[in-house]
Amino acid sequence: MKAHIKFSAIAAVVLVLSLLLANCAPATEAPAPTQPPTQAPTQAPTQAPTQAPTQAPAKPAPEAIEIGASIPLTGKYGSLGVQVKAGYELAVQTINAAGGVYVKEFDKKIPIRLTIYDDESDPTKAVSKLESLNTEQKVVAYLGGAASDMHAATVPIAEKNKVPYCGVSFALWKIHQQGYKYLFSPFPKSPTQAEDTFKILNASIPEGQRPTKVAIFQETTDWGIELGGLWKENAAKYGYEIVDYETYAPRSENFSDMILRAKAAGAEALLAVPNQPDGIAMVKQMSEIGWTPKFMLLIRAPENPAWSEALGPLGDFVTIFPGWHYKMKWPGVEELVKKHQEAYGRPPDVLVGPAYACVEVVADAIQRAGTLDRDAIRDAMAATDLPMSMIGPIKFREDGTGIVLNPMVQWQKGQIEVVWPPEHKSADLAYPATPFDQR
């Protein structure tokens, strides 16, 4: 009995101690739930923050977009260069009057600053001028000069410096076949001009009246050789025969032997690409010898008023492929005519429009690129798809040649008229030419 009581007392003491220890121990964590608890939906703050988040400031914009050109304003190509210069300057004035070109990188419009040098029709000087534009002005684009052999000298410099180059007043196709990536030219090229010569004659003159016997006076320059050869290749395909093919060096003074041979061969048409001094001398000597081709296409020489001033009626009936004319029916042409008249006292010459369009191409590319990075501008120029410009729609082929219209114009009564295409013409093709001694 005593042993049982003793065991019970001990058990009671143990129980009491156990209860005391349980009350003093830290609480045990509840086990993690098997599913995540439901989260209350996030609500927008009832009030806007008192201070807007800090935004990075726009990149400081340059004072101007630097563009440069080396142009033959004097020398044998001066008559072409002054037209190109006028087109460039009038286009820049128009763009800057609207605030400049919008560049996304700087989120603002920036005016264009155009630097022009006179290379005096000297390819070596033109190369030097382009190098100066690159190192001193740090131009983002070059605008080309005038005449094919001048462009042939300067385009490699643009390629070396990786500066986008837009040029007109040159039809040389060969230069576009040398793999240049920075060259773009919204101007008709030799293959187009060669075929269009015969296509336009066939479309404008009834069969049986066409001047099918042709003489070619080929200048011994890259462009002269190229276009002369293409005329020769295309003639038979369109029903024409080359009866006399002559060659001469630029700045020749005596063309009488060539003229006499062409006359003796019975040539009815003359095709040539003389510079202005050569072209004027050529026509004067043709008049003196008494040979009047029924049709003449003299590209380059007759492209400004000095032609008519020097030759008077003798300069009539000559046709040209200049790329544009102020009587063409494109939007913006009337305004350009007004501005040129105010600045120079006469309507714009034929190369003013293509030069103006060149600036439009560069400005459009800069805006689409959204930066002044040269490679980005180059890529944007390659993707050009202008639905309208001063010379109409413009796109570029992979080789940089422009997909553009190739109008033919003609001197008639001391004025230049558009004779092709029909939707733009201001006069019919004057044919056949009146003999020199009856004008």
Taking 90 as the threshold, does the pLDDT of residue 175 lie above it? yes
pLDDT value at position 299? 95
Q: Are β-strands 295-298 and 318-320 bridged in parallel, bridged antiparallel, or unpaired?
A: parallel
Task: pLDDT band for 55, please (50, 70, 90 cuts).
Answer: low
Euclidean distance between CA atoms 180 and 363, whole angstroms: 21
Task: pLDDT band for 57, please (50, 70, 90 cuts).
Answer: low
Helix (H) or strand (E) holding 215: strand 213-219
Lowest-confidence region among 114-118, 145-149, 211-215: 145-149
Nearest-CA neighbor of 144 among 158, 128, 160?
158
Lowest-confidence region among 6-20, 184-198, 305-319: 6-20
The answer to whether 89 and 162 are in contact (CB under 8 A) is no
CATH topology agreement for domains 65-188+329-403 and 191-320+408-438: yes
Q: Which CATH superfamily is 65-188+329-403 part of?
A: Response regulator (3.40.50.2300)
DSSP string, 85-99: HHHHHHHHHHHHHTT
Of 49 and 408, the structure prediction assigns the larger pLDDT to 408
Rg (CA), the chain: 38
Taking 90 as the threshold, does the pLDDT of residue 63 lie above it? yes
Structural domain spans, the chain:
65-188+329-403, 191-320+408-438
The answer to whether 119 and 150 are in contact (CB under 8 A) is yes
Euclidean distance between CA atoms 190 and 417, whole angstroms: 22
DSSP letter for 179, please: -
Euclidean distance between CA atoms 93 and 338, whole angstroms: 14
Taking 60 as the threshold, does the pLDDT of residue 38 lie above it? no
Can you name the CATH fold of 191-320+408-438? Rossmann fold (3.40.50)
Task: pLDDT band for 182, please (50, 70, 90 cuts).
Answer: very high
Q: What is the pTM of this model?
A: 0.84
